[in-house]
Amino acid sequence: MSKLPHPIPYQGSKRKLAPMIDRYLPRGIGTLYEPFAGSAAMTIYAAHHRRAERFVVGDSLEPMVALLRSIVEEPERTSARYGEVWRGQREGEAGYFNEVRDRYNSDRDPVDLLYLICRCVKNAVRFNRDGRFTQSVDKRRLGMHPEKMAAAVLGVSHTLRGRTEFRVGDWRETAADAGPGDFVYMDPPYLGTSIGRDKRYHQQMTQEELCEGLGELRARGVPFALSYDGMTGGREYGPPLPDTLGLTRLLLHAGTSSQSTLSGRKEETVESLYVTPGLAEPVAGVIRPEAAQARLAL
Ligand SMILES: C[S@@+](CC[C@H](N)C(=O)[O-])C[C@H]1O[C@@H](n2cnc3c(N)ncnc32)[C@H](O)[C@@H]1O
């Protein structure tokens, strides 16, 4: 799929969808903001393809931002320390992972977080409300090998160093200085209205807060794209956004649901991408990678 470096194997990362989302980005972006960065897959993709002059990467989870900063600004130190933590483990034992997890929960060291993300079940992070990491070890894997990590860290640093600003905090603050010549890509946590608290993230959001913030961006004329809700086999995960925001909703093919595959049914997973006017014509039905390619050729 892509040979882009990806040091943070974050479940829910937009790594696979980034090329499809990229088709809706305007040309000549001043600063690309990613205020719900996580592993910053969209920023990495856009930087690699020179889609913006500068990048602002933010997340409300402080150690995640510290990790991204450490990857970009101190690549050698980051991969050396990851190698040390990784080499401390032995196959088949959970004790070491739990030690690193306890250490992370008291010191919040970003490279300890990277090791936990790499070694935990399905790379699916879980945090409680206090930001403590609660996911368990995947005993069958050792996590990304230090050599592969070093190459990925160096690759990301190479593309983003000197062009990227890191911000910790709420998405609205991170994007507060975005203007009409910039672009904001947002991938908030699913709103837990119908599925309860989403334990992947330490912080929850309401649709009201989201819409208020989007309204502010619209009022300032800032172009943006928002990955919002998803759908598997026709079951929706979130309520659609109000028409008053004037956004175009596109449905992107995001793969087949692993849950459904396990139970023998192959169901398509679809994700909404809401974009501001002028970035896309409304499209009926699901946009698949080939269709997005054909659209480019028009
Ligand atoms: C779905 S993940 C983003 C994944 C990302 N697109 C990637 O490629 O890895 C959502 C992120 O938003 C962060 N977050 C949750 N609430 C937030 C808020 N109010 N402001 C900023 N970030 C927030 C979480 O810590 C999490 O990293």
Buried b (16+ CB within 10 A) or exposed e, 70-102: bbbeebeebbebbbebbeebeeeeeeebeebbe
Give the per-residue pLDDT at 204.
63
Which residue reads 């879980």 in tokens?
126
61 lines ligand 1 (CB under 6 A): yes
Contact between 47 and 37 under an 8 Å Cβ cutoff? The reply is no
Atom of ligand 1 nearest to the CA of 37: 5
Ligand 1 mean position, distance from CA 190 (Å): 10
Give one DSSP letter per residue of 39-87, joined into a string: T-HHHHHHHHTT-EEEEEEEES-HHHHHHHHHHHH-HHHHHHHHHHHHH
Angle between helix 62-73 and 75-87 (nearest 10): 110
Strands 268-275 vs 224-232: parallel, antiparallel or unpaired: antiparallel
Candidate from 4, 36, 202 with most ligand 1 atoms within 8 A of CB, to mutate: 36
184 lines ligand 1 (CB under 6 A): no
Buried b (16+ CB within 10 A) or exposed e, 201-240: bbebbebeebeebbeebbeeebbbbbbbbbbbeeeebbee
For the domain spanning 1-21+30-228, the CATH number is 1.10.1020.10
Candidate from 15, 21, 59, 65 with most ligand 1 atoms within 8 A of CB, to mutate: 59
Give the per-residue pLDDT at 240.
82
Candidate from 32, 60, 186, 190 with most ligand 1 atoms within 8 A of CB, to mutate: 60
> Which has the closest alpha carbon to 237: 220, 222, 251, 218?
251
Give the per-residue pLDDT at 210.
93
33 lines ligand 1 (CB under 6 A): no
Give the per-residue pLDDT at 193.
41
Nearest-CA residue for ligand 1 atom 1 is 189
Give the per-residue pLDDT at 189.
87
Query: For residues 31 and 194, what is the distance between their CA atoms, to the nearest angstrom?
Result: 35
Residue 265: phi and psi, rounded to 5, are -100, 135
Query: For residues 206 and 20, what is the distance between their CA atoms, to the nearest angstrom?
Result: 27
Query: For residues 198 and 86, what is the distance between their CA atoms, to the nearest angstrom?
Result: 29
Contact between 156 and 5 under an 8 Å Cβ cutoff? The reply is yes
69 lines ligand 1 (CB under 6 A): no
Ligand 1 mean position, distance from CA 37 (Å): 5
Q: What is the pTM of this model?
A: 0.91
Ligand 1 mean position, distance from CA 59 (Å): 6
| Residues with pLDDT less than 70, the chain | 1-2, 92, 191-204, 234-238, 257-265, 290-298
Nearest-CA residue for ligand 1 atom 16 is 203
Contact between 204 and 95 under an 8 Å Cβ cutoff? The reply is no
Give the per-residue pLDDT at 147.
98
Ligand 1 mean position, distance from CA 188 (Å): 5
> Which residues are CB-neighbours of 290 under 8 A, at least 6 positions away?
none
Query: For residues 226 and 276, what is the distance between their CA atoms, to the nearest angstrom?
Result: 9
Please give the C-alpha separations between residue 42 and each of 19, 100, 109, 245, 268, in angstroms, as whole numbers: 9, 29, 24, 23, 22
Give the per-residue pLDDT at 104.
97
Give the per-residue pLDDT at 200.
60
Give the per-residue pLDDT at 194.
38
> Which residues are CB-neighbours of 182 under 8 A, at least 6 positions away?
29, 30, 31, 32, 33, 52, 222, 223
Nearest-CA residue for ligand 1 atom 11 is 36
DSSP helix/strand/coil, 155? helix
Give the per-residue pLDDT at 195.
45
Q: How many other CB atoms sit within 10 Å of the CB of residue 261?
A: 12
Ligand 1 mean position, distance from CA 57 (Å): 11
170 lines ligand 1 (CB under 6 A): yes
Q: Go through the chain and tell me how many residues it has.
A: 298
Give the per-residue pLDDT at 190.
75
Give the per-residue pLDDT at 216.
97
Give the per-residue pLDDT at 295.
55
